[in-house]
Amino acid sequence: MEERIYLDHAAAMPVHPGVLRFGRQFPGEFAGNPSTLYQEGLAAQEAVSRAREQVASLVGASDTASIVFCSGATEANNIAVRGTALRNAKRGKNVVASAIEHISVLNPAKDLQKSGFSLTLAPVDHYGTIDLDALRKAVTPETVVASVHYANNEIGTVEPVREVAEIVHDRGGILHVDATDAAGRIPIDVERDGIDLLTLSGNQLGGPQGVGALYIRPGVRVQPVLVGGGQERGLRPGTENVFSIACMGEAARLAGEEMPGESRRLRAIRDRLISGITEMEEAYLTGHPTERLPHHASFRFSRIEGESIQLAMDMLGIAVATGSACTSRTLEASHVLLAIGLAHDEAHGSMVATLGRTNSPDEVPRIVRAVEETVKRLRAITPL
């Protein structure tokens, strides 16, 4: 049996071995609740504040108090979109989001419509790059918060965040950027980029699942979506998940340290994958050819369906993702693939490969062969 090849790092990252080593010393030593004043509590407090510094440092936040820990990117996105809109509703009643945001941004934005907000979706071009002219029209003085991600998880396209920030700030709006897929992969500097709120996922940095963080620029007012004991500046009440937070901090530190070398290494593998796969008949790259995440390769194949591709690749020992409707809980076509202009039947045949530290260039020929075999086999069955 050949070794498995894991190509779905955007869905779940294996925990970094350095984080595992770091985490192993934990359970015995730390039993404290950071809200207490005895030694165990202070030690826990210290672990959380070290993590806060490490996360702040990864994204260029000079004020460590600007980092709020929570349960993950979905919660961070909810606090950012809902909490900011509701807290600043006096200013206006409009929310803007790019059409290809993650569902954990789009759903709270849609839900705000029940509270009297209007939602404007800003279109993207066929690469998934936000249309800046359209954004200029979409963001108005009524816009409280605009949410445009740093990079897209399905097609890898990196957005022109600085230009977006200028547009949003010109109209007095607050910019939220979901950096779940970009952080630890490409350099992010919230101050240079003009970002008011930034979402981070612990797992996407190589930390454990179930922990995340929201950067909130000092001065930006946000209200909690969950109320309780006042931890994390009241924005994320509940006893801190000390162990996971500390591990996320260590993951952020390692990600920052390894990013230059690792992104160069993964970019080379990605480019070989892209050229090998797009050589096949009726196989196309989705997303931007150059402005894309270094570890991200995404494709679509005509006349075959993505779930079948995923299953067939799995049988060949390779884990890939697909934006196919058949793999989603709602059985709806990917809103990302439709927003970049694909027809429904084209959106069905997608395959996404996201690389990580376990992948090596030696795997490329086997991956390309497996894709060829899969596509050939499925096309032999198709009536299209």
Partner 1 sequence: MADQIGYSQKVMEHFMNPHNVGVIENPDGYGKVGNPVCGDLMEIFIRVKDDVIEDIRFRTFGCGSAIATSSMVTDLAKGKTLDEAMKITRDDVATELEGLPPRKMHCSNLAADALHAAIQDYREKQKKE
Task: List interacting residues with partner 1 (CB under 8 A).
Answer: 303-308, 311-312, 315, 324-327, 329, 331, 333, 343-345, 348, 380-384
Structure tokens at 286: 């989705």
Q: Are 113 and 94 in contact (CB under 8 A)?
A: no
3-state helix, strand, coil in the chain (%, to 5): 45, 15, 40
C-alpha span between 27 and 84 (Å, rounded): 36
Cα 19 versus chain centre, distance: 20
The DSSP H or E segment spanning 174 is strand 174-178
Structure tokens at 271: 């480019």
Q: How many angstroms separate the CA atoms of 167 and 227, rounded?
A: 33
Nearer Cβ to partner 1, position 128 or 349?
Answer: 349
Choose between 227 and 384: whose C-beta lies nearer to partner 1: 384
Task: State the nearest-atom distance from the C-beta of 20 to partner 1, in Å.
Answer: 27
The CB-of-12 to partner 1 minimum distance in angstroms stands at 15
Name residue, tokens 């799995």: 314
Torsions phi, psi for 239 (to 5 deg): -55, 130
Q: How far is the CB of 312 from partner 1 (least distance, A)?
A: 7
CA distance 55 to 124: 30
The least CB distance from residue 209 to partner 1, in Å, is: 18
Q: Which two tokens stand for residue 343?
A: 């027809």
Q: How buried is residue 219: exposed, middle or buried, by Cβ count under 10 Å (0-12/13-18/19+)?
A: exposed
Please, which residue, 11 or 89, has the CB nearer to partner 1?
11
Name the residue nearer to partner 1 (CB basis): 291 or 307: 307
| Cα separations in angstroms, 29 against 150, 180, 242, 246, 271 | 37, 30, 12, 13, 44
CB 201 to partner 1: min, Å: 22
- Closer residue to partner 1, CB minimum distance, 242 or 333: 333
Q: How far is the CB of 326 from partner 1 (least distance, A)?
A: 4
Residue number, 288 or 348, with CB nearest to partner 1: 348
Strand partners, 213: 69, 200
DSSP string, 23-39: HHTHHHH----TT--SH
70 is an active site residue: no
Instruction: Choose the catalytic residue: 326, 338, 368, 372.
Output: 326
Residue found under tokens 């989001």? 97
Closer Cβ to partner 1, 167 or 333, answer by number: 333
Output 195 or 339, the one with its CB closest to partner 1.
339
Distance between CA atoms of 258 and 119, rounded to whole angstroms?
A: 39
Rounded Cα distance between 193 and 195, Å, is 6
Helix ranges restricted to H, the chain: 17-24, 26-29, 39-58, 73-78, 84-87, 103-111, 132-138, 161-170, 190-193, 242-278, 306-315, 335-339, 344-347, 364-381
Q: Least distance from C-beta 382 to partner 1, angstroms?
A: 4
Q: Indicate which residues carry an active-site annotation.
A: 326
